[in-house]
Structure 1
């Protein structure tokens, strides 16, 4: 049978009165649909749901707020592809069917359209389709984590249509109409179109292939590559980079304009093709075209009328003469389908193409759209959707029958608020965050207008007065070229979306809103002037600049560590920055100046700002940056973390470089809980479609981006004081010598030099293989002493260290050039008299502690602990302390290695109060562990400490090893190392007296509590010194009187005196009040809820109506005990 015949039979059968509109027939309808599409049938369902990857009635289980397990069934499920839910003919909830409330006979919510299956059918408000869509999303959320979020949700109205919603980000937070507002609903009659049938086949067989970003990323990279070739050639001929950049931006917008119909299709490409044979005429022709585009009118070059573009882009119509091959590159770029260019990455690639230093890395480092979307959705779209889907639609459902005019007015009001919403990116770069926000807000606007039309409102009237457009999106950017690209990207995205969704563009095509400002977002100052000693410039009157008002702030500020600010920023900038922000500690990362400014605005009285979200380095959890967060979160106007991801890949990985790791934080006003996402698995980081699965935890998110026990509240213990420190910070590579160089400089010949040239170890020496390096340490000697006693060594430092120190800005480094920059004056006396001490690498993949001989000087990247007791080494090497260090420390770098911060990890750590037998057992195991590792490394020059622990982790996790790794396992005694660690864990558990079955989270919680107990002991005078003979002599003990706890008497009196609030009078306020009351996760009846308000039982009818409307929309579940808010993602 021909495809056309089978399609017509299918349409006639299901639209013609054989029960097509009855939900009971959905399985038969879908089986016949897959036959029509020549797709495989669903499999028979198995007894257990784990392997039911393509079945009808696929079981899913989910827990409510009280932990009760509920079972639902997906109408049709295909793993990795879709969740399909059929429209209900009755309201189905929790396994029972409840008749919908009585309504008017032909109410638009429940009367089927007269002509089913046709695009011309009336678009009515259909609460059952909305309910089915929400149900599909809830079922997608309830799938097993290994299944991931399906890219598609399908809602089926049997015999009428299918509605398609997609979220390719893999996070399930923003399923939206696919492919757009005009095409997401597929009617039966649309199946006659082969393209529609191919679309449905792709959803079944290759849904990820429909991701627009997958197709557009390759196109975008190719275009940027061609622009880079032209840019390089023009700069090579002496043209200024800024002029080249703006010239090429005008070229590419002209290419875009012809592809979307703003210029006659193909007209510019044809002009480029002709110009290859006459390159001398190209620049004058192009200038003539651009002048006409700027003003509108007849173009002599194109010989046709050209629209009025306006804006700033074509105000300067200057064109650069091009050679034939350069015109050819532009011609090839113009031949691409510009409707497929992805603005979310185009700006970054264009900036790389036009920037001389970044051109060689074109395409190597950019942020995949899915990552940007993750932050934008959590910060901007989630609260807007929450307001729209629950608050507004819940109220509309209640009012639409009896008060349709009020329902329409509510939708109009929301649209007005949406169109007035302002988004600010104060470090906007090339505009990728702003563009993604624009597209997602336009999609939400489309849904609002769709609802307005379904209710009988006039959509066109709403768009005449207001709509979301580029003026809603504000940017601050210090780089003028990036700011110009950002403005271009916004307009490209806006016009692309508008034309794709069937909207017309009126003249002028472009407008100059001034929404992207070129300015420094964190430092304003008076004009620069020479500084006092004429060695550079200074920035007088440094201050925080004003930011434009906005409802939401998003962004990805620059990644510069606090310790690198002076080196990586212009001369004098760091000092001015610190003066402008005196409340921020100087060691905080650069990004925290943006974070702190946004937090201050959010906490300000009467602020317009509702939420902000930033990408930061993943080192934000470390001490200095964490302090900035903690101060704002716990300030007089408290804030809370609404969402956080402590560790997330960022830029696209390449064969030459790993993906940069970052953190995301989204902040909202007031106290509250949030959702913490931790990466469970990741794949495809080197592709345009990275796949990341998350584990979620809900609770109060602490400043260290954890939930559960709050390690940020722990206090340093006097018992641990004065024993740990980073090693020596040289500030001069000339201090390091080889043993042979040491002999040449007098070692073994000059008396006393052996006390000053000593073995030296850094982090790589411990984790890989020791270099055998030595270091010249003249701490405590004056310059003349060194010169007279050790002239060879002095001369070496004079040649290799002094020139570098002379250029240093710090006087102490210049004046004491023969000594280490940071000689660690407090660590040296702590190490005196010890034969060995404990060390660990500050930033490392594996947290390993070991003994070092006392003659070895440690590098700054080693954390040294002035204790020679193997019992302490055993405690530090246990899983208890490792779990503590991972929570209390931080994470750093592309390798995402843990950071051991002494002030947050060692100083507050409460060691157990063990008896003699326990101490001996732990010490013996620690000695054996340390000796075993040292023996292995001494015997086998190809093995490293990192390699041994890589194998140990693989073995403990049950992984398989290849033949070479099995050999390393045997030679490295890896099984013995693993066994010693296991025995050590049991011994440490016994020393604490805690159960051996505790999880890491439970261990950390107990250690936090023990820290608080020890802190109280020390406050009352009892200190459990780790090395009393040294610490007592050093500190001088003083008894501390206990401090009384603060009592919140005034707060309690105020709470007791507070009366019950009134139930709101307006419909939106009533819906908001009911939703807020249900957020505790309990089931409430209308009477119970009414008792919380001043009106008491008088409020019951309005509360009942609100609950019923929310239940019909699927936002609340109906139970015997009342109504419960459904869990949201």
Structure 2
């Protein structure tokens, strides 16, 4: 079903169900109708499970579960408020979403839902179950005709053809790796750089020949394999040299007396076979058998050039790939970049043209649209194996094929009319530092071009020439951060920049990479920015792109007048660290202030997946930006859900643009926060929980000098750990405790052995931690905690507990401060601005706490917060054996603790003058950032 017909079906569905809906009698009818008539599921009853039984304290039933897409649905009658608690059969009060979470936990890991929906026949509340703190996306039934795509996840499973392409391409990559290993051995024990480059090109040539044979481009089936079969290993090298020379020679320039079996091969061109200085080794029987019996018999025609480019490149050593920060991008993730960057708009433009009723006018517009497709230029300044460029080319050509089919499809007959294809790989440019990846990228584009030509030929029943290759992919080898991008593609000719630059954290950068960053991140006077050496490597591409597009101003619509520049747009996949914590201001402030960029769309943090066998375990964001006219509503994606906002700031929040910079003192009049104590002792002053009893037994006099010692992990998980706190211990007392004295001596030796002069100096006080903070009472906050908790657990501690530097402390903190910090308002701020370790919260004093805008409550509001804060503490006391990890796990949180937090949330929101009935978290963050800006301006 195409977009037009689906919109019509959605309209009919919305009209049919308007004002209807009874939970018990019509839920199944509603979902069967939706799945069948709007989303094209032939047999909805086979696709869905209804009244799925789950065992809680009693037997309960899930209304609808879609196992293939892992969607769980809780249906309510029309008129029910989906945001309010409803009394359950066991007497508890739960919102529909809380019901979903209980059911989800009962289903177990393998059936745990990816998506949750609560519905009352008038509204769909959509939840990303992978992010329990995420606000629901709300879709109204009345808006379904224009927003039906927001429910595509109901049926959007990976198509079998895509699965097959992936499997074939991964197998092909494995085969390439094997060929690489076998041939590498033929170059001797210490191959030169030239030999290794030759090996790379040899592999590429062999793969191209096998693809061309299997796809019918060479002419007849098994042509390449039959040729190679005639040669023994000792003649195999010469056979390949002769063949490569023929493939690079035009037919009319060949020796007419050359062997017939060579003359049968077509002229390829494109530069793939032009380097005659290629070093080709001798082949042993094992290599020959691998190429003929395994590689040639594999069906290369079924590979996806986009996927294959990545797995092809996986023959590079994993160590080198990691050092370069290279991470392969899946087809799915490529579309997260190119769809909102340009492809969605192009598809919408095409659909709009099809709605033109007059055939002649429609055809003229289709021709102009095809010319537009052929005029666009694309640039990936970190192109790797070319999968961004390849997938973009394929997507553009498939759109062009739709145009060609509409213009010519039914009228064409077999013949030799003019080639109707206008989109070319000449429109695609790239920079890549690795020579092998450059070759792979070019080859992937050539294969994509040949595949798409075959699709066009089948579509319009035309005979098209596949060879010789007439196009050239403009892939340049070099360091993108050291090059002038105008030398690759002049900015006046460019349409879009995109890609997946290297991921290397600032602490892991090589000397050369650090120099790259200092060379790029310079101010107007050419001096490196103060924090240029403290930001991630990927930021260099953002700076270069922003600088490159800075002078562009003309919207990209139709032809560009001579001498005028296009409005260029860019989008990159990046590590999420550049949108979190202290890096945000350092990375983005120069881009906003100097180059006037703004963010057009963004995908918030998602876990990376790729098509290579060596998948990168990183958390990423995607950011699209430009400096020209911006759309009024900007899409902000969280998983598959999207909201449209007026502004996306560099924290990827729909809020005003603000830069939360490191601050030594709190912005508001509140107690200071500091970190705990760093032992710097080599572990010698620490006593593990399991060793505590034995130590006291052997050294009973030490007991009065032992205190509980905790960091984030022990704090959250009730872990047992102790330390020797010898602040007030006299030399006489220490001398009577031999085990303690031994530990002190070991600590001193450890410090003396350090290469750090500061640590060496601590050897003068070997019985003490580096810091000796031990206040009478304080609020403790873990530095690192799971993002899956709605609240970061905090607590009051006293002088009997020593905290490590993995906990923050607010000395003399009061109930009021505790209540604010444990509120949903403060957590909204945390989620927006804090740094992350992978995806976990990394709470910092200088970014999160010191910049947090506190409310100015009335006396009664402050008293109310103190009361609700105490309520949280009282609710916890009812479960003395439970750790914070258990208490704050979403599906395990005791009802009284949840209610206490909800009461505290309401009290805090009232102190901020926020409407807790209606305010969303994104709106809360927007207001907090306005408050922050105002407070900064007042200083």
Q: Structure 2 vs 1, CA of residues 490 and 1009 (structure 1 numbering), >3 Å: closer, same or farther? A: closer
Note the C-alpha offset of 1:475.
0.8
Whole-Å separation in 2 of the counterparts to 1:494 and 1:478: 24
Aligned to 1:286: 240
Deviation at 1:609, TM superposition (A): 5.0
User: For residue 582 of structure 1, what is the aligned residue in structure 2?
Assistant: 528
Q: Structure 1 residue 476: deviation in Å?
A: 0.8
Instruction: Determine whether 1:222 maps to 2:150.
Output: no
CA shift, 1:374, in A, is 2.3
Compute the TM-score of the two structures, normalised by the length of structure 1.
0.57
What secondary structure is seen at the aligned counterpart in 2 of 1:522? coil
Please point out which of 626, 650, 655 is paired with 2:608: 650
Alignment partner of 1:645: what SS?
strand
Please show how residues 629-1028 of structure 1 align to structure 2 within 5 Å: 630-631=588-589, 634-635=592-593, 638-652=596-610, 660-668=618-626, 669-679=628-638, 693-708=640-655, 718-720=667-669, 723-725=672-674, 737-738=686-687, 761-770=710-719, 772=721, 774=723, 796=746, 800=750, 806=755, 813=756, 817-818=760-761, 834-845=776-787, 846=789, 847-853=792-798, 861-889=806-834, 891-893=836-838, 896-914=839-857, 919=862, 922-923=865-866, 926=869, 929-930=872-873, 939=881, 944-950=883-889, 953-955=890-892, 974-989=894-909, 991-992=911-912, 995-1001=915-921, 1002-1008=923-929, 1010-1011=931-932, 1019=939
1:453–1:58 Cα change, 3 Å: closer
1:548 to 489, 499, 510: 489
| Cα separation, 2, equivalents of 1:833 and 1:901 | 20
1:231 aligns with 2:174: no
Partner of 1:106: none
CA shift at 1:259, angstroms? 1.4
Change (3 A) 1:858 1:295: farther
* Residues 354, 989 of structure 1: alpha-carbon distance in 2 compared, 3 angstrom cutoff: closer
Deviations 1:455-478 (A, max 9, x none): 999999997698322221111111
Shift in Å, 1:645: 1.1
- Inter-CA distance 592–715: structure 2 relative to 1 (3 Å threshold): closer
Larger radius of gyration: 1
Call closer, same or farther: CA 1:854–1:308 in 2, change over 3 Å: farther
User: 1:645, 1:663 within 8 Å by CA — same for their partners in 2?
Assistant: yes
Equivalent residues in 2 for 1:253-332 (5 A)?
253-268=208-223, 270-271=225-226, 274=229, 278-296=232-250, 297=254, 300=259, 302-314=261-273, 315-316=275-276, 318-330=279-291, 331-332=293-294
Alignment partner, residue 6 of structure 1: none
- C-alpha change, 1:720 and 1:263, in structure 2 (3 Å) is farther
Aligned residue for 2:101? none
Map 1:449-468 → 2, pairs under 5 A: 449-450=404-405, 453=408, 467-468=422-423
Cα offset, 1:439, TM superposition: 0.8
Distance change in 2, residues 1:848/1:468 (3 Å): same
Determine the C-alpha separation between the residues in 2 that align with 1:307 and 1:843. Answer: 63
C-alpha deviations, 1:850-872, integer Å up to 9, x for none? Answer: 23445766555544434432321
3-state SS of paired residue (1:429): coil
Cα RMSD (Å): 5.2
For residues 866 and 258 of structure 1, the distance between their equivalents in structure 2, rounded to whole angstroms, comes to: 75
The residue that corresponds to 1:345 in the other structure is 307
Structure 1 residues 928 and 654 mapped into 2: Cα distance closer, same or farther (>3 Å)? farther
Deviation, structure 1 residue 257: 1.1
User: Which residue pairs with 2:477 in the alignment?
Assistant: 518
The answer for the alignment partner of 2:32 in structure 1 is 51
TM-score by length of 2: 0.67
Deviation for aligned residue 1:876: 0.8
Return the alpha-carbon distance in structure 2 between the equivalents of residues 621 and 246 of structure 1. 39
Which stretches in structure 2 are left out of the alignment for 5+ residues?
A: 10-25, 41-65, 70-142, 553-563, 728-739, 764-769
- Matched residue pairs, number? 753
User: 1:601 aligns to what?
Assistant: 548
Match of 1:246 in 2: 201
- C-alpha change, 1:312 and 1:1012, in structure 2 (3 Å) is closer
How is 1:26-425 mapped onto 2 (pairs within 5 angstroms)? 49-53=30-34, 141-143=146-148, 145-146=150-151, 148=153, 209=159, 212-235=161-184, 238=188, 240=191, 241-268=196-223, 270-271=225-226, 274=229, 278-296=232-250, 297=254, 300=259, 302-314=261-273, 315-316=275-276, 318-330=279-291, 331-355=293-317, 357=319, 366-385=328-347, 400=360, 408=364, 414-425=369-380
Please give the per-residue CA displacement for 1:537-557, whole angstroms capped at 9, x wherever unaligned: xxxxxx999663321100011
> In structure 2, how many angstroms separate the alpha carbons of the residues matched to 1:350 and 1:630?
35
In 2, are the aligned partners of 1:449 and 1:459 still within 8 Å (CA)? no
The whole-number CA distance in structure 2 between the counterparts of 1:417 and 1:450 is: 17
Going from structure 1 to structure 2, the CA distance change for 1:468 and 1:671 (only over 3 Å counts) comes to closer
* Correspondence for 1:200: none
Q: Deviations over 1:1091-1119 (max 9, x none)?
A: xxxxxxxxxxxxxxxxxxxxxxxxxxxxx
SS in 2 for 1:718: coil
Q: Is the CA contact (8 Å cut-off) linking 1:640 and 1:672 kept in structure 2?
A: no
Alpha-carbon distance in 2 for matches of 1:729, 1:460: 80
Maintained 8 Å contact 2:655/2:929: no
Contact 1:254 1:268 in 2 (8 A): no
Cα offset, 1:378, TM superposition: 1.8
Matched, 1:439 2:394: yes
User: For each residue in 1:187-245, what CA deviation from the matched residue of structure 2 results, as whole angstroms up to 9, or x when unmatched?
Assistant: xxxxxxxxxxxxxxxxxxxx954x53221111111111122223234445646454433
Structure 1: give runs of 5+ residues left out of the alignment.
1-22, 28-44, 60-77, 82-137, 151-169, 171-206, 525-542, 681-692, 779-789, 807-812, 821-826, 957-973, 1020-1129
Q: Deviations over 1:257-298 (max 9, x none)?
A: 1012232433356348847x9444433322322222222557
